[in-house]
A and B are shown apart, each in its own frame.
Chain A
């Protein structure tokens, strides 16, 4: 977790993440969770209201946290149906590691 590396070098960090459970395991210092698809930490294109909501929560975490593992979640539903959003965050072709796994499974 890069946040821990940077924080250990003397720079305070806040991490905005789709996977707050993993960030907690990796000992990030200040964590803001968003239930958004990958590649969209702050929202959908041109949705400045949603981006600002996430950014404000990050600032709240920076102001209020007093010890490592401080965690806030953003109360915002993703404005795209799950089945569409699930498919659309993936790259157009499987990544190298996924392609290798699929090949090993004979798919």
Chain B
């Protein structure tokens, strides 16, 4: 099937995204360092989830003060997270389904299955969450959070990152 990228958007937003010019920066490419069946895979969602009992949510108050700003920080979500630990602070999507089953945005069960089947080498012990409404130029992510996260992934021998924009 051919995907309609704008099926669930209001018409005004569809027109805005259709008119978005291609990024000026060139594409980046890093090949897999080894076959996927030997790779350590981590997951990342932009659904704004966090651990209710031990982490702060994302900064909604500042976004209300400045609607063009989005909290650029991220949270670490362990692979053994339990559903009841999950909170969500994201002002642009409904939280209902992810608070019922977080795997709709962070598919830990599916990747556990793929790990057991040997499709991937291993599922990393930690995953990552950020809030997907960000400054369009991504200055913070280019200069602060991106390098910080990349260094963290390399320290933990993560070979591949799956990103799931919410």
Contact = CB atoms under 8 A, between A and B. Distances in A.
B4 interface: yes
B76 interface: no
B8 A85 contact: yes
Contact of A99 (B44, B67, B162): B67
B165 to A, nearest CB: 5
A19 B26 contact: no
Contact of B166 (A7, A39, A54, A58): A39
A13 B158 CA distance: 11
Interface in A59-107: 59, 62-63, 67-69, 73, 75, 77, 82, 85-86, 88-92, 95-97, 99-100
Interface residues of B, number: 76
Given A20-B3, A52-B113, A62 B166 contact: no
A68 B17 contact: no
Contacts of B150: 6, 9-11
A8 B120 CA distance: 23
A33 to B, nearest CB: 4
Given A41-B164, A63-B36, A95-B91, 9 more contacts: A41-B166, A44-B97, A52-B110, A52-B114, A55-B110, A55-B113, A73-B2, A75-B1, A95-B92
Interface of B: 1-8, 17, 20-23, 25-33, 35-36, 39, 44-47, 63-64, 67-68, 90-98, 100-101, 103-105, 107, 109-111, 113-114, 119-120, 130, 133-134, 138, 141-142, 146-147, 149-150, 153-154, 158-166
8 contacts: A12-B161, A15-B163, A22-B20, A35-B3, A35-B4, A39-B98, A77-B1, A96-B64
